[in-house]
Amino acid sequence: MKKTLLFILFTSILTTEIISQEKGVGIGVMIGEPTGISAKYWLDNSTAVDFGLAYSLFHSESSFSFHADYVIHNYELIKSNYKIPIYYGVGGRIRSYSNNTYLGARGVAGILYIDKNYPFDAFFEIAPVFNLLPETSLHLDLAIGARYYIR
């Protein structure tokens, strides 16, 4: 059941990428807690939806997770010749760990470097996660990563 759910979620990310290439879709890797595949779909110049399909390296048992966040980018906070917006947003996470499936709400904040010459970005983000089901608990996701954009 868990593998089927992860397959469906991953397939929907790829389907979104194929349909939405003209609006800017990036796919890459994230390293941290968790480590895995990162994707971003830009809705307009300042808003996007970030996705992650990942594996936790810090748990003694297998732990897979999927998250999706709606993020807003602020280009005015860091004055630079480069595109370095600060972003923040909210979303959700599903994590499978210790024969349980956890559902939680995420708040995310990060910094993004957008290359002007190549379809590439790099990011660092921190995301507190408040698990709601099957029990309440607080966790922290932290990642650094990069994505290549298909335009």
pLDDT digits (tens, 9 = 90+) for 82-111: 999 999 999 999 999 878 899 999 999 999
> What number of residues does the chain have?
151
Topology adopted by domain 2-150: Porin (2.40.160)
In the chain, domain spans: 2-150
Instruction: Enter the DSSP assignment of 4.
Output: H
129-136 long-range contacts, CB within 8 A, separation 24+: 129/93, 129/104, 129/105, 130/104, 130/105, 130/106, 131/95, 131/102, 131/103, 131/104, 132/103, 132/104, 132/105, 133/101, 133/102, 133/103, 134/100, 134/101, 134/102
- pLDDT surpassing 60 at residue 69: yes
Instruction: Enter the DSSP assignment of 98.
Output: T
pTM of the complete model beyond 0.85: no
- pLDDT surpassing 80 at residue 30: yes
